[in-house]
């Protein structure tokens, strides 16, 4: 089985179990819809755990390339340079560097060694850098030139990411503002317009039936039985809006729908807190 499927599968299973338990506990409450979003929380945690590890690998990989380039410029050969860098602390990358140094010391060509060592990493950036390194070596470049080009490539990628982030910040802020305006509109409807809708049938009954008090009482009882639970519908509306708004923000900011799950959690938790607090305080 694919390690990625196995990794996310166990977290998805945990989420499903928690969702079933939450549904049983909340099925007669206005928050029953939250049980359907619980499965994404473990998956989101697994994603960010893996994503933080990948970011750690990428950040340290750039430092490793810089150190390796400096050693090569000082006249150290690639095999000894890898042995020296293997003694440094590169966080989660350290184990990979040690394996790479051992393979090169055993006589495995550098191209094959670095490709095999980092084959199981899920970092697309590292794989692209390795591809650049291998292509440059095949084109006849020396190691010093190779790592200089690789370092420039990493810096360019990071610069592009920074530019993308700065351009999308205002869009993310606008998305949050629009969502909270939506929540405020829901609260306003709940406070000001729902009481009018609930009282309107009773006013019509009084005006139409006049002195027929018995008929008015019967119809009032029927209206009471058929009374719509607006709070339940509005709560579900906010939950659905938060669930779908988050991935869209993630796609805009980080080019990943999964990355937007953190925005869904933020929007969902804050909006529900504000909605429940305001409605409870104002007696809605």
CA trace torsion 139, 145, 150, 152 (10° rounding):
-120
In this predicted structure, what is the pLDDT of residue 181? 95
* Predicted confidence (pLDDT) at residue 180 exceeds the cutoff of 50: yes
State which CATH number among 3.30.70, 2.20.100, 1.20.81, 1.10.3470 fits the domain covering 57-160: 1.20.81
C-alpha to C-alpha distance for 14 and 38, rounded to whole angstroms: 10
* Predicted confidence (pLDDT) at residue 205 exceeds the cutoff of 70: no
Q: What is the mean pLDDT of residues 253-258?
A: 77
In this predicted structure, what is the pLDDT of residue 3? 67
* Predicted confidence (pLDDT) at residue 255 exceeds the cutoff of 90: no
Span 111-137, pLDDT tens digits: 899 999 988 888 888 888 888 888 878
C-alpha to C-alpha distance for 133 and 124, rounded to whole angstroms: 14
> What is the DSSP-derived secondary structure letter of residue 142?
-
The structural domains of the chain, with segments of one domain joined by +, span: 57-160, 165-198+227-283
In this predicted structure, what is the pLDDT of residue 185? 94
The distance from CA 193 to its chain's CA centroid, rounded to whole angstroms, is: 36
Residue with tokens 């530019």: 163
pTM above 0.85, yes or no: no
Contact 190, 279 (CB under 8 A): yes
Q: What is the mean pLDDT of residues 232-245?
A: 87
* Predicted confidence (pLDDT) at residue 157 exceeds the cutoff of 50: yes
Q: What does the H/E/C string look like for 98-119?
A: HHHHHHHHCCCCHHHHHHHHCC
Structure tokens at 94: 């350290």
Most confident of 18-32, 73-87, 145-159, 228-242: 73-87
Residues 6+ apart with CB under 8 A from 104: 78, 79, 82, 110, 113
In this predicted structure, what is the pLDDT of residue 30? 63
The distance from CA 4 to its chain's CA centroid, rounded to whole angstroms, is: 17
> What is the DSSP-derived secondary structure letter of residue 257?
T
Contact 78, 69 (CB under 8 A): no
C-alpha to C-alpha distance for 81 and 85, rounded to whole angstroms: 6
In this predicted structure, what is the pLDDT of residue 75? 85
Span 82-100, pLDDT tens digits: 999 999 998 889 999 999 9
C-alpha to C-alpha distance for 111 and 135, rounded to whole angstroms: 9
**pLDDT, mean over the chain:** 81
C-alpha to C-alpha distance for 78 and 71, rounded to whole angstroms: 8
* Strand, helix or coil for residue 234: helix
C-alpha to C-alpha distance for 253 and 262, rounded to whole angstroms: 12
C-alpha to C-alpha distance for 41 and 30, rounded to whole angstroms: 20
């Amino acid at each position: 089985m694919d390690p990625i499927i196995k990794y996310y599968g166990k977290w998805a299973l945990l989420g499903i179990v928690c969702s079933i338990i939450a549904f049983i506990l909340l099925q007669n409450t206005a928050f029953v819809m939250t049980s359907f979003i619980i499965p994404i929380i473990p998956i989101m945690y697994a994603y960010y755990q893996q994503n933080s590890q990948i970011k750690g690998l990428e950040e340290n990989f750039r430092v490793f390339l810089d150190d390796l380039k400096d050693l090569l410029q000082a006249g150290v050969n690639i095999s000894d340079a890898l042995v020296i860098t293997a003694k440094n602390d590169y966080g989660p990358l350290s184990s990979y560097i040690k394996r790479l140094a051992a393979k090169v010391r055993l006589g495995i060509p550098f191209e094959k060694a670095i490709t095999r060592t980092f084959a199981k990493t899920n970092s697309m950036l590292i794989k692209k850098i390795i591809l650049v390194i291998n292509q440059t070596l095949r084109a006849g470049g020396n190691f010093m030139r190779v790592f200089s080009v690789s370092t420039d490539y990493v810096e360019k990628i990071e610069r592009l990411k920074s530019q993308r982030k700065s351009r999308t910040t205002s869009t993310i802020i606008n998305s949050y503002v629009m969502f909270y305006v939506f929540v405020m509109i829901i609260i306003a409807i709940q406070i000001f317009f729902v009481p009018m809708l609930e009282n309107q049938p009773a006013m019509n009954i009084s005006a139409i039936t006049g002195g027929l008090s018995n008929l008015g009482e019967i119809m009032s009882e029927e209206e009471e039985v058929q009374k719509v639970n607006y709070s339940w519908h509005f709560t579900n509306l906010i939950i659905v809006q938060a669930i779908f708004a988050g991935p869209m923000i993630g796609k805009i900011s980080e080019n990943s729908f999964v990355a937007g799950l953190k925005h869904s959690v933020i929007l969902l938790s804050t909006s529900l807190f504000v909605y429940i607090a305001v409605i409870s305080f104002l007696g809605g």
